[in-house]
Amino acid sequence: MTRSASPKQIAASLTELWSPRVIAEVDDAYVKVAKVQGTLGWHAHADEDELFLVLKGVLRIEMEQGAVELAEGELFVVPKGVRHNPVAQDECHVMLIERKSTLHTGDVVNERTRSLVEQLRPV
Amino acid sequence: MTRSASPKQIAASLTELWSPRVIAEVDDAYVKVAKVQGTLGWHAHADEDELFLVLKGVLRIEMEQGAVELAEGELFVVPKGVRHNPVAQDECHVMLIERKSTLHTGDVVNERTRSLVEQLRPV
């Protein structure tokens, strides 16, 4: 990336829900943005933490030991191995940071699973 | 981190300029926030990329091949090995993501250099 990027603006421009777009890379991690609404489904990433930063709206992250609700501007890291299910009652825009090796829906494949090829389409 | 955090609120609460505070970790990287004004000084990180996301104000990142100016909500990644100098004419709050091994002012030590011990004080 040789120019700056606005995660909020790129997230707002996405047309498909639950389909993260890679906007930058930092060492072995990708920075992604996504537009979400509804639920992604329960899954875990055995070896990778996953950071969520809410750009717009509210995101609830359900975990077996409880849930966190993130307002706009708040972040949370789901530790590796923790089963979780992101839920947004209304449209929500998020920024994600996760290692390049991280699979979209972790150990689960469902109708919302997206490959990294789709995530790497040019912004 | 078992609770959510607001990078904006934590950055606003900092009392010392150019003294990053670690607010979360994602795998081998730290998420930090800092309050900055003036200039940090030219330096490079030979082996680590460095992500800047502006939470408030405007940050100019000078590099030998040119500069980028980041408005609130914009991000930029300084690639490993690239000499850079962050400059903020007015008070600016930033979120940083960099590998845990990253030194504050890289290959340079100056009066603004902070150790990681200071950055890890409880929020």
ipTM entry = 0.86
The total of other beta-carbon atoms located within 10 Å of residue A119's CB is 18
Cβ of B70 under 8 Å from any chain A Cβ? yes
Q: Tell me which residue range forms the domain holding B13.
A: 7-102
Cβ of B24 under 8 Å from any chain A Cβ? yes
Q: For B75, which of A5, A29, A51 is closest by C-beta distance?
A: A5
If you average pLDDT over every residue of chain A, what do you get? 89
Question: Is position B88 within any domain?
Answer: yes
pLDDT band at A104 (very low <50, low <70, confident <90, very high): confident
Q: Are A82 and A63 in contact, with CB atoms under 8 Å apart?
A: yes
Residue A26 belongs to a domain with what CATH number?
2.60.120.10
Backbone angles phi, psi at B112, to 5 degrees: -100, -5
pLDDT at A105: 72
Cα first-last separation, chain B? 11
Question: Is position B75 within any domain?
Answer: yes
Question: Is position A50 within any domain?
Answer: yes
pLDDT at A106: 72
In chain B, which ranges are continuous DSSP H helix? Answer: 7-13, 116-119
Residue A77 tokens, joined: 């890291």
Q: Which residue of B has its CA nearest to A56?
A: B73
Q: Can you tell me the mean pLDDT for A70-77?
A: 97
Q: Are A42 and A76 in contact, with CB atoms under 8 Å apart?
A: no
pLDDT at B106: 72
Residue A107 has pLDDT above 80, yes or no: no
Question: Is position A41 within any domain?
Answer: yes
- B84-113 pLDDT, tens digit per residue, is 999 999 999 999 999 988 777 777 777 777
Low-confidence residues of chain B: pLDDT under 70: 1-2, 115-123
Question: Is position A76 within any domain?
Answer: yes
Q: Which chain B residues are Cβ-neighbours of A69 within 8 angstroms?
A: 4
Q: Which chain B residues are Cβ-neighbours of A8 within 8 angstroms?
A: 73
Total domain count, chain A? 1
Residue A120 has pLDDT above 70, yes or no: no
Q: For B51, which of A24, A48, A80 is closest by C-beta distance?
A: A24
B8: closest CA of chain A, how far (Å): 7
Question: Is position A91 within any domain?
Answer: yes
Question: Is position A43 within any domain?
Answer: yes
Which has the closest alpha carbon to A55: A75, A29, A78, A26? A75
Residue A57 tokens, joined: 């709206």
Question: Is position B53 within any domain?
Answer: yes
Q: Can you tell me the mean pLDDT for A37-50?
A: 92
**Residue B103 Cα distances to A40, A63, A82, B44, B100, angstroms:** 37, 34, 30, 9, 8
Cβ of B101 under 8 Å from any chain A Cβ? no
CA pair distance A50, A55, nearest whole angstrom: 16
